[in-house]
Structure 1
Amino acid sequence: MAIGLFGVAAIWLSQDPRSSRRRWSPVLGLAAQPFWFYTTWRAHQYGIFALSFFYTFSWARGFVAHWVRRPV
C-alpha cells in the first residue's frame, strides 16, 4: 500500500506545473524506496531489487536539485 501511495503521489507531483509542488516529488519517491527494497527482497525479485538502487539514485538526484541546491 505504501508503494502505491508514495509512488503514485511522487509521479503525480512530478508533472505538476507549479514548482512549489513539483519539488515534493523526490521526497515522496524516496519515502517509497524502503518499501520497494523490502518487498522485492522478500519476494526474491532480485532484478527489481537491483533496479530500486537506480530509482533511489534518481530520486536522490531530484532531492538534491530541489532541496539542497536551491537556485538564487
Structure 2
Amino acid sequence: MDYLRLMDALILVQVAIAITSAIAIYLTNSKHDKFRKYAPIFGLLGEPFWIYTSYTNHQWGVMALALFYSYSWFIGLRNSWFK
C-alpha cells in the first residue's frame, strides 16, 4: 500500500512539473505583456517540484539547473511586477 501512495505522489509531482512548465513557457512567448508577466509566477510554482524530484532521484545536474531557473524566474518576477 505504501508503494502505491509513493507512486501516486510521484505521478502528482510529474503532472505538476508538466503543467506549470508548459504554462510558464507558453506565457513567456505571449505577444501580450498582460499575459507574459504571469510566466515567472508559473515558473516559480513549478520549481519546488523540480527540486524535489531532482533531489530524490540524485540528479545533481538537474538540481543545479532548477536552482538557476528559480533565480532566473525570480528576476523575471521582480522585473514584471515590482519595477
What is the TM-score normalised by the length of structure 2?
A: 0.81
Gaps of 5+ in 2: 1-14
1:14-65 Cα shifts (integer Å, max 9, x gaps): 0110100000000000000000000000011011101111100110000000
**Identity score, percent:** 36
User: Hey, what's the Cα distance between the residues in 2 that align with 1:33 and 1:19?
Assistant: 23
Structure-1-length-normalised TM-score: 0.93
1:1-72 paired onto structure 2 within 5 Å = 1-69=15-83
**In the alignment, residue 2 of structure 1 is paired with which amino acid?**
A
How many pairs does the alignment contain?
Answer: 69
| Bigger RCO (CA 8 Å, 6+ sep) | 1
User: Quick one: which amino acid aligns to residue 67 of structure 2?
Assistant: F
More helix by share: 2
Moved over 2 A (4+): none
Provide the C-alpha distance between the structure 2 equivalents of 1:38 and 1:48, rounded to a whole number of angstroms: 10
